[in-house]
């Protein structure tokens, strides 16, 4: 087994033991973002090793996330499924009202003043965490050929769009964006700001959900998801997506890779969007390099944010391969080739990031341990990114 695979196995097995996935001696410790990446990692380990236990870990993790994050916290005065469904029905529809983030502190109550620092540690729901979970469910649905996972992804997509949508109250009721953070019961925004990339994330992920549902003949919420896609589409056109945040850049590259796989060959808008995404990534990476981010002291850096970029850069080869193989679908645009050429020059940065943080797996200092689960799961994804970067079926292993 290659060294990267061996390390990924070690990281994911330790994560499973540490967070109560495979140990009855510990209550499950679940966090939605990390667990979404972890599901994809376990599915990828199953694909690489053929060992059924890794697929079982993925399925067990999904069940734990729904049982823990689909319910109110133990220190909440409310109890049961956050959907309000009874026990039996809630188990059948665990994502019907979204899923909690899994933060250490309770969400801010209505009467409590807003504290930006504390808000990062308070519970609630994030749209961009929900879309990552939809992706994990879709990959599990297709790989395990089980329609209930696609249905859960569809129910989650419908609930998320309905409750997170921000509409104009002055010039009609049209959609203007997606709220950054909502309360656990999705009744009110906890942070009323609109996420920079959430409309893009929703537009692409909802298309993935629709595709998985169609593949597995799931009709539940299909019309709502189709409507959501149509509503989000105009908000994704003629936008500047540029950011120099490493995790944000990684997210743009995730989305570009997914769009390549979902692209409608009859849609000029899809090709326009892909071109805009890749252009934004080239500008953002140039700014990231100029800022000297990777030369800063480790104490001023966050591994998981950099690893998000490393994972995204792993997608560049797959994007280039897809464009080359399906040139007619991409209208033979020279701008795409130019952007790919520029992005390929930045690919070594991904390997540099991975190499820089590998040492911390062996010598876990205080800063590493503060974010150990998310750091190590995302490091594993950077080492074996295929399932995470795929839609429906695995991308060619040699292309990543």
Q: Would you call 37 helix, strand, or coil by DSSP? A: helix
The residue that leads in pLDDT, 81 or 366, is 81
For residue 144, pLDDT over 80 is answered with yes
Position 366 confidence tier, pLDDT thresholds 50, 70, 90: confident
Which of these ranges, 196-210, 293-307, 330-344, 364-378, has the smallest mean pLDDT?
330-344
pLDDT of residue 81: 98
pLDDT of residue 398: 46
For residue 304, pLDDT over 60 is answered with yes
Measured distance CA(279)–CA(276) in Å, rounded:
5
For residue 133, pLDDT over 80 is answered with yes
Question: What are the structural domain ranges in the chain?
Answer: 106-134+146-235, 237-400
pLDDT of residue 3: 82
Span 135-153, average pLDDT: 97
Burial readout 252-278 (b: 16 or more C-beta within 10 A, e: otherwise): bbbbbbbbbbbbeeeeeebbebbbbbb
**What are the distances in angstroms from CA 141 to CA 6, 65, 136, 137, 226?**
26, 16, 9, 6, 19
Span 320-332, average pLDDT: 81
Position 335 confidence tier, pLDDT thresholds 50, 70, 90: confident
For residue 95, pLDDT over 50 is answered with yes
Which of these ranges, 92-96, 200-204, 239-243, 320-324, has the smallest mean pLDDT?
320-324
pLDDT of residue 329: 77
Position 25 confidence tier, pLDDT thresholds 50, 70, 90: low
Are 41 and 374 within 8 A, CB to CB?
no
pTM over 0.85: yes
Around Cβ 55, how many Cβ atoms within 10 Å? 18
Segment 181-196, tens digit of pLDDT: 999 999 999 998 998 8
Are 310 and 380 within 8 A, CB to CB?
no
Are 81 and 131 within 8 A, CB to CB?
no
The residue that leads in pLDDT, 286 or 359, is 286
Span 218-232, average pLDDT: 95
pLDDT of residue 136: 98
For residue 173, pLDDT over 70 is answered with no
Measured distance CA(381)–CA(279) in Å, rounded:
25
């Amino acid at each position: 087994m290659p060294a990267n695979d061996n390390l990924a196995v070690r990281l994911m097995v330790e994560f499973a033991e540490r967070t109560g996935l495979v140990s009855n001696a510990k209550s499950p410790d679940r966090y939605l973002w990390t667990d979404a990446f972890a599901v994809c990692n376990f599915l990828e380990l199953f694909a690489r090793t053929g060992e059924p236990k890794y697929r079982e870990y993925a399925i067990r993790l999904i069940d734990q996330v729904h049982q823990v994050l689909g319910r109110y916290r133990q220190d909440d005065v409310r109890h049961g499924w956050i959907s309000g469904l009874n026990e039996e029905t809630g188990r059948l529809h665990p994502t019907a009202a979204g899923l909690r983030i899994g933060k250490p502190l309770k969400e801010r109550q209505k009467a409590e003043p807003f504290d930006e620092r504390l808000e990062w540690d308070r519970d609630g729901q994030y749209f961009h965490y929900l879309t990552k979970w939809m992706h994990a469910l879709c990959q599990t649905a297709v790989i395990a050929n089980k329609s209930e996972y696609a249905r859960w992804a569809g129910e989650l997509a419908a609930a998320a769009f309905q409750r997170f949508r921000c509409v104009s109250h002055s010039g009609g009721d049209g959609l203007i964006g997606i709220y950054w953070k909502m309360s656990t019961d999705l009744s009110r925004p906890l942070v009323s700001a609109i996420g920079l990339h959430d409309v893009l994330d929703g537009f692409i992920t909802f298309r993935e959900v629709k595709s998985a549902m169609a593949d597995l003949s799931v009709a539940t919420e299909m019309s709502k998801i189709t409507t959501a896609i149509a509503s989000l589409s105009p908000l994704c056109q003629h936008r500047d997506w540029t950011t120099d945040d490493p995790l944000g850049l990684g997210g743009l590259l995730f989305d570009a890779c997914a769009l390549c796989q979902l692209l409608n060959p009859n849609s000029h808008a899809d090709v326009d969007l892909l071109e805009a995404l890749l252009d934004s990534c080239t500008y953002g990476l140039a700014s990231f390099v100029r800022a000297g981010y990777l030369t800063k002291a480790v104490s001023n850096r966050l591994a998981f944010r950099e690893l998000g970029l490393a994972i995204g850069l792993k997608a560049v080869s797959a994007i280039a391969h897809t464009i080359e193989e399906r040139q007619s679908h991409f209208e033979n645009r020279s701008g795409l080739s130019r952007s790919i050429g520029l992005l390929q020059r930045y690919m070594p940065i991904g390997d540099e990031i991975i190499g820089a943080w590998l040492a911390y797996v062996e010598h876990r200092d205080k800063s590493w341990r503060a974010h150990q689960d998310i750091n190590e799961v995302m490091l594993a994804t950077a080492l074996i990114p295929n399932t995470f970067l795929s839609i429906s079926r695995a991308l060619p292993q040699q292309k990543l």
